Every structure is written in C-alpha cells, then in structure tokens.
Amino acid sequence: MLRSLKTSLILSAGLMFAATLAVAQSVEEGIEAAKNGDFSEAQSIWRDAASDGDIVAMRQLGGLHLSGVLGVADLEKAREWFLKSAEGGDAGSNLSLGYIYERGMGVPADTALAETYFARAAEGGSIDGLFKRATLVLARNADQAEVQKAVEDIRTAADQGQPEALATIGDFLRSGTFTAMDPVKAIEYYKQAAQNGHTQSLNTIGDMYLFAEKGAADIPSALVWYERAAAKGQTDAAYSVAYLLYNLPGASDADLRKAFDYASMAALAWNEQAQWLLGQMYLEDIVVPRNDYEAYRWLDLAASAGVIEAHHLRAMAEVALGPEQAAKAHEEAQLWFNQNHGQPHVHRLINNNVHTFGN
C-alpha cells in the first residue's frame, strides 16, 4: 500500500509538472504570436493559459489591452487583468498597477495606492518597483527614517543598473542632495545611466560642461555630449547643438549648416525653442537665404508654445510679408499644428493640455 501511495504521489507530481510546463510553453507561444504581429492569436493563447491560472498570461493580457494593439486601448480591462495577476503575486503586474495609479490611467490618480503597488512589486523582486516606490516616498511628506530608506533603495537600484536610479544618484551628486556635491562622480553616474538606456543623461552631461559645473565652461565637450544625445532622439540636445553652433564666433559654413539641420530636426519634433531659432535663421540670411514666409510659419508655432521672443520676430516677418501673405503663412502653420500636435512631445513653457493655436 505504501508503495502504491508513493507511485501515486510521483505520478501526481509528474502530471503537475507537465501541466506547468504546458502552460509556460503556451505563454511563450503567445509571445511569439505577438512578435509576429498576430495579437488576436496571442490573446487567444493567453486567455487559455489565464483560465488555467497562469499569472504571466494574465499580465500579458493586461498589456495587450493597455497598449491598444487589439484596436483600441481598454484601460479598464487592462487593469482587471493586472489585478488578477497581481493577486497571484506577479511583480510585473503590481508594477503596472503602480504606473496606472500614479499617472491616473483610466482611474483617478492615487499616489498612495501607486506606492503600495510599487512596494508589492519590489517585494516580488522588481528593481523598477523598488526605485519607483522610493521616488514617491521622496515626493511626499515623509519622515526622516522613510527618506533615509528611500535614498538607500535608490542606491540599491542603481547598484543593480536601474537606469533611472543611476541618473537620480547623479542628480543627488550634482545638486548636493542627500550627499556631498561631486560633479565628477555625478558625470560617472550619468554615463552609466546613459549606457543602460537613459538617454536624457547624455543631455545632462552636456549641460554640466556648458554651465561650468566642472570649473569652467567647456563648449567643445558640451557639443560632443549634446550630439550624442541628439543621435538618441533627445530634441533638447539637438536644439542646444543648433544654438551653440549658430552663435559660435567664427563658425564655419559647415557649422552653420549643421546648426540649421539640428534646428530643423528639433523643430519638427516640437521643440519650441528650435522652432524660434529656425524662424530666426530664415530671417537673418546667414545659413539659408532669407525667407519671411518660412520664418513666419515657424515663429508662429513657437509663439503659440510660449516663446515670447517669437512674437517679436514674427511681427518683423509680418511687416515684410504684408497682411495677405502673413495670413497664408498663418493658415499653413495652423494646418501643420493640426496634423502634428498629436505626436508625443512635451512643452516646457506651457501645459501640453492647454496648447492651442490662435493669433
């Protein structure tokens, strides 16, 4: 009888292992289907796995509904799947719920609840969760012990290569927050953050060289880092390259042409200061022939985004154009605004939600 019981237990364990393996394989099959663009098939596979209790499949379903790849984003369904998965202890789903409540995605923003979910993600081994919870602690009225623990957690996340944590330690060292000010060490952390994918850190290093944070302004070094950042899609860095090269004493024709190209790149990506600079370039007849019409269009867009100087230069372009041509240029700028304002971008001088285009 004992031998029979052992045999039953072995068979039971084997069946459980086989079932677990089958579910894991089905989740992987869903991932392959999604990689191939067949999101409906991925959804079907993951639904079957989720019905068998697979929390990873539940998380993947939440991601499908959140991303909108099934046709339209369904934040409510996404949250429901993440909740089911999180109840089973999935760290990734807890992390996603933290972001949902932090950003108010389909629900009222609730940073306290977001902090709870980030903490659960951290307990499940998520370094991102550890970092995010720490940042929310520092953003609220926390006591000294909580602040100290949060800073320690950010250092722990940085030690494990979390890009935002590395950049945050760089910020601490740059500003002298929670530690002694050390710009040299700050740059080392920013470099590590950039190597791990935090491209904004490349722009920050450029700023530090330009703003003489290592002793004296170093424009050549600043340009090196700004160009690296611009190559990674940082539009602020592209504007900085354009501005510095355009205003560089004794700039060569090649420098001026590069300045124009970088200004154009950033302006098309909705950097309002680059739009202002591009308008100025069209007015000044230095790098490109004077073109009051193009100048007006770009200055019109920059003015709508809060660049005060753009209003002055736009008035000069309007005088040169005359009312009829200026009205046409305004219509073109309006059309460009309507066609392109939906692309992701951030304004520094105004709130994105109230950016409208008028006179």
CA atoms within 13 A on the CB side of 288: 18
Tokens of residue 87, six digits: 């109840």
Query: Residues of 252-291 as b/e, b for ≥16 C-beta within 10 angstroms?
Result: eeebbebbbebbbbbbbbbbbbbbbbbbbbbbeeebbeee
* Residue 352 vs residue 168, higher pLDDT: 168
The reported pLDDT for the residue numbered 340 is 86
The two tokens of residue 340 are 């392109």
Mean of pLDDT values over 133-144? 97
| In the block, residue with structure tokens 């520092």 | 138
Measured CA angle at 222 (ends 174, 237), to 5 deg? 90
State the Cα–Cα distance between residues 186 and 196, nearest whole angstrom: 15
Give the count of beta carbons closer than 10 Å to the beta carbon of residue 302.
Answer: 29
Cβ contact 304:357 at 8 Å: yes
Whether residue 58 contacts residue 85, with contact meaning beta carbons closer than 8 Å, is answered with yes
Residue 212 falls in which region: left (phi positive, over 0), alpha (psi -120 to 50) or beta? left
Q: What is the pLDDT of residue 359?
A: 53
For residue 6, is pLDDT > 50? no
Average pLDDT over residues 48-52: 92
Q: What is the pLDDT of residue 351?
A: 65
For the ranges 135-139, 277-281, 336-340, which has the lowest average pLDDT? 336-340
Task: Give the pLDDT band (50/70/90) at residue 355.
Answer: low
Please determine, for residue 23, whether its predicted confidence score (pLDDT) is greater than 90: no
Q: What is the 3-state secondary structure (H, E, C) of 215-274?
A: CCCCHHHHHHHHHHHHHCCCHHHHHHHHHHHHCCCCCCHHHHHHHHHHHHHHHHCCCHHH
Question: Which residue's entry shows tokens 């850190």?
Answer: 201
Residue pair 290/282 in contact (Cβ under 8 Å)? The answer is: yes
The rounded distance, in Å, linking the Cα atoms of 111 and 325 is 50
Query: Is it the case that residue 16 has pLDDT exceeding 50?
Result: no
Does residue 353 register a pLDDT over 60? Answer: no
pLDDT mean over 193-213: 98
pLDDT at 87 over 90: yes
Q: 94-104 pLDDT, tens per residue?
A: 999 999 999 99
**What mean pLDDT comes out for the span 20-48?**
82
Query: Which one-letter DSSP state was computed for residue 354?
Result: G
Size of the chain, expressed as the number of residues it contains: 359
CA gap 195, 175 in Å, rounded = 22
d(CA 43, CA 72): 14
Please provide the average confidence, as pLDDT, over all residues in the chain. 91
Question: Residue 342's pLDDT is what?
Answer: 76
| pTM of this structure | 0.86
Mean pLDDT confidence for 206-220: 96
- Helical (H) or strand (E) element with 182: none
Q: Could you give the C-alpha distances from 181 to 4, 147, 276, in angstroms and in order?
A: 71, 18, 35
Confidence at residue 125, expressed as pLDDT on a 0 to 100 scale: 97
Query: Looking at this protein, which amino acid is placed at residue 285?
Result: D
Residue 1 has pLDDT above 70, yes or no: no
